[in-house]
Amino acid sequence: MTADPVEDSAVPETEEAEETRPRHGLDLDVLDFSGDELHSIAPYWQGYKYYFFADEENGNNMNDAVYSRRIKVEEALNIVMTNTFEADLGAVVSTAKANVLAGDATYDLVFNHCIQGNASLVSEGYLYNLDLLPYVDMKADWWNRTQMDALRLGKNTYFAVNDMMLPCPAVILFNKELIRNNQLDNPYDLVYEGRWTFDSMGDLARAVTLDYNGDGVMDINDQYGLAATGAGSSCYINFMTGAGQFITSRSDEGRVRLDFNTEKTQSIFEFFAGLANENIIYAPPSNDEEVILRLETGRVLFQILFLDKVETLRDCEVDFGILTYPKFDAEQKDYINLDWGGLLAVPRIISDPALIGAAMELLAWESGNEVIPAFYDLVLAGKLARDEDSVRMLDIIFDTIAYEVGGNYFGFDTGVNDLFYSLPRLAVNRKSSDFSSLYKKLERPSVKDIELFYENLDKIEEKDG
């Protein structure tokens, strides 16, 4: 398995007070960077829009916590922090590359998309080895060394996973009223007892699906066990990783290799294609808002969506809870929740490694004081979690965050792309379990994607020594 869930969460307990937390090892009485600038670049996308940057206070708790973190870091290190947003995802990658080629050290931090351009940034030598940064203590609680190692495909560490990098997993919402009205097992109890699996989810979904309006046609006007926020929803991919099935595995030498054509993969396809053919899943024909069936209608038992969509549920009147993604079966040890949040890197050309290392360390540590508690409050205030069980679910989700390396590096490449998105595209939308035919077509280009990556990376890291 390429990436494992870990016990040390990227998000610590919300009630942990600053004075009880381990303290960073920075000597702030000595560190002084004379007003130098720490300049970052990020796409105007997902959580980066809301949870990472703030230029002033505005009364919003999350914004003000982010702003407070910025001011504390600026004052502690005597620096000025600025960020440039790019509307186009590809612009972050192209700008970072252009600056490195030009020897331009304008940007110190690159906040990138979870997939876009990550492979080329690494394998073509555009990123700095984070292992060389001074002042960074990757053994500290506010760093997730396990997941950084999962994302490290060569000798060096190029992506930072720490408490500043708030995760953005998909979550499963469930309609409590449908559970009560049909006298079904409480999904919370299933989770706590380790029985929240594909089969238990399928049984509950089947129990509520019906021709709601009695017209003999299953469409958006009827009641379903499972729905997503749009056609071809990426959220379905989380079921694959939640089952412990990743696109790649590690060889004895530690290199990732294609390892997707397994009995488990086939079983997962058969399970979801079966649900789709039984009309247990509502799969909209497009991403048009008018054809998406939502939890708010009261006619969906389970709806999957990304955590950053919390704002859309503020006015929802349906009594609902939040769940982790299920296990493949009861034999699986842990729940696993795939992170779709962005990745943080440092460009190869930088002016002051000491400034960047100290700033990254302090930003990560400070995030646990105000930003993460505010993030929890935002989720709770947004009605995504309306009860203590949902709060516990959030803890489980954040404690079991993992990365899909095949997706993070190769998810937009020619071969791997169609494998990465195959569950929603083939099993859900086309209602087909014929994964083997798809794999035969995509195996060769997918293997080439990975081989080419390593050919380029080996040259870069050999050159670097």
pLDDT at residue 10 is higher than 50: no
Q: Looking at residue 418, which CATH number applies to its domain? A: 3.40.190.10
Q: Do residues 196 and 265 share a domain? A: yes
Answer yes or no: is 182 within a domain: yes
Question: d(Cα 199, Cα 191) in Å, to the nearest integer?
Answer: 13
**DSSP assignment string, 301-321:** EEEEEEGGGGGGGTT--S-EE
Answer yes or no: is 10 within a domain: no
Q: Do residues 144 and 174 share a domain? A: no
Q: Do residues 428 and 286 share a domain? A: yes
Question: d(Cα 104, Cα 349) in Å, to the nearest integer?
Answer: 7
Kindly indicate the confidence band of residue 464, based on its pLDDT and cuts at 50, 70 and 90. confident
Token pair in block for residue 23:
């303290």
pLDDT at residue 2 is higher than 80: no
CA 74 from centre of chain: 28
Question: Average pLDDT for residues 39-57, to the nearest whole number?
Answer: 93
Question: d(Cα 77, Cα 74) in Å, to the nearest integer?
Answer: 6
* β-pair type (320-323, 170-175): antiparallel
Smallest Cα–Cα separation from 401: which of 348, 335, 332, 313? Answer: 335
Segments forming the whole domain that contains residue 129: 18-167+340-381
Q: Do residues 198 and 305 share a domain? A: yes
pLDDT recorded at residue 176? 95
Instruction: Tell me the pLDDT tens digit for each residue of 276-310.
Output: 999 999 999 888 888 999 999 999 999 999 887 76
Q: Do residues 351 and 313 share a domain? A: no
Q: Do residues 286 and 416 share a domain? A: yes
Residue 42 pairs with which residues in a beta bridge? 85
Token pair in block for residue 258:
């294609």
Catalogue the E-assigned strands of 29-144: 36-43, 79-86, 109-112
Q: Do residues 223 and 281 share a domain? A: yes
Residue 81 pairs with which residues in a beta bridge? 38
pLDDT at residue 7 is higher than 50: no
Q: Do residues 213 and 140 share a domain? A: no
Asked if 321 contacts 187 with a C-beta cutoff of 8 angstroms, the reply is yes
CA 131 from centre of chain: 23
Answer yes or no: is 4 within a domain: no
Answer yes or no: is 85 within a domain: yes
Q: Do residues 297 and 440 share a domain? A: yes
Q: Do residues 31 and 53 share a domain? A: yes
Q: Do residues 120 and 258 share a domain? A: no
Question: d(Cα 325, Cα 240) in Å, to the nearest integer?
Answer: 10
pLDDT at residue 3 is higher than 90: no
pLDDT recorded at residue 11? 44
Answer yes or no: is 458 within a domain: no
Least confident among 229-238, 359-368, 443-452: 229-238
Answer yes or no: is 416 within a domain: yes
Instruction: Tell me the pLDDT tens digit for each residue of 107-139.
Output: 999 999 999 999 999 999 999 999 999 999 999
pLDDT recorded at residue 84? 97
The number of distinct structural domains making up the chain is: 2
Residue type, 172: I
Who's near 248: CB < 8 A, 6+ residues apart?
Answer: 2, 256, 257, 258, 259, 260, 405, 406, 450
Q: Do residues 146 and 283 share a domain? A: no
Answer yes or no: is 258 within a domain: yes
Question: d(Cα 48, Cα 42) in Å, to the nearest integer?
Answer: 7
Answer yes or no: is 43 within a domain: yes
